[in-house]
């Protein structure tokens, strides 16, 4: 694969391989089920799901428990993670490629990112927003670190690899027909389902 940004190369390579080992387990699955059950409570008739940046599929495993009949689609740049995902969810359609190369003719009722937009080169975010919008039949969910203004933060000793901003707000500005359905927060000190301090936003076409 050839990439246009340093962030793609970063996640495709050794660091992306190491991330696979760090981000799995039953506690993470429980937290994901708890989070997505809140989001899906505000939706209806989801028959297909598409995750951009799915890694090994921990989010999608939780979604399969909640929506067992839904068709699962995933885009993942790291080869090791994509291979694990295929083994974990054999009937999933897994696209081992950069988000920028994804063909939006593959569509889903529910399209989302979780901890992925924060790692995209900020100059390329409009392209990712377009991919999310064009591939969604109805819902778009953004599950990311939030900040009212764009800011770059050191990530495990690496610079230019983590960016916080109002991703959902930017998507709604780009596509005014999107409606904010609901939003919420996941807290690292939650009594039962602790996880990263993430904000989630559910948008509807």
Give the model's confidence band at 16: pLDDT under 50 very low, under 70 low, under 90 confident, else very high. Answer: very low
Q: Quote the pLDDT of residue 24.
A: 55
Which residues of 65-135 form beta strands (DSSP E)?
71-75, 93-95, 108-114
What is the model's pLDDT at position 11?
Answer: 54
Q: CATH number for the 6-204 domain, one of 3.90.1150.10, 3.40.50.720, 3.40.50.300, 3.40.50.150?
A: 3.40.50.150
User: Quick check: 15 pLDDT over 60?
Assistant: no
Contact by Cβ (8 Å): 116, 81: no
Q: What is the pLDDT of residue 122?
A: 94
Q: Assess contact for 79 and 52: CB atoms under 8 A.
A: no
């Amino acid at each position: 694969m050839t990439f246009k940004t340093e962030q793609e190369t970063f996640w495709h390579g050794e660091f992306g391989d190491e991330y696979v080992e760090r981000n799995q387990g039953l506690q993470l699955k429980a937290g994901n089920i708890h989070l997505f059950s809140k989001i899906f409570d505000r939706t209806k008739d989801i028959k297909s799901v598409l995750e951009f940046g799915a890694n090994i599929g921990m989010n999608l495993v939780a979604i399969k428990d909640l929506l067992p009949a839904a068709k699962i689609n995933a885009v993942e740049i790291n080869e090791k993670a994509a291979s694990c995902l295929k083994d974990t969810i054999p009937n999933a359609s897994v696209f081992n490629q950069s988000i920028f190369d994804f063909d939006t003719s593959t569509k889903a009722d529910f399209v989302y990112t979780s901890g992925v937009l924060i790692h995209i080169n900020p100059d390329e975010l409009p392209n990712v927003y377009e991919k999310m919008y064009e591939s969604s039949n109805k819902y778009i969910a953004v599950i990311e670190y939030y900040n009212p203004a764009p800011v770059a933060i050191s990530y495990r000793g690496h610079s230019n690899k983590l960016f916080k901003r109002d991703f959902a707000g930017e998507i709604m500005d780009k596509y005014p027909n999107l409606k904010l359905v609901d939003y919420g927060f996941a807290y690292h000190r939650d009594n039962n389902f602790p996880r990263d301090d993430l904000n989630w936003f559910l948008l509807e076409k």
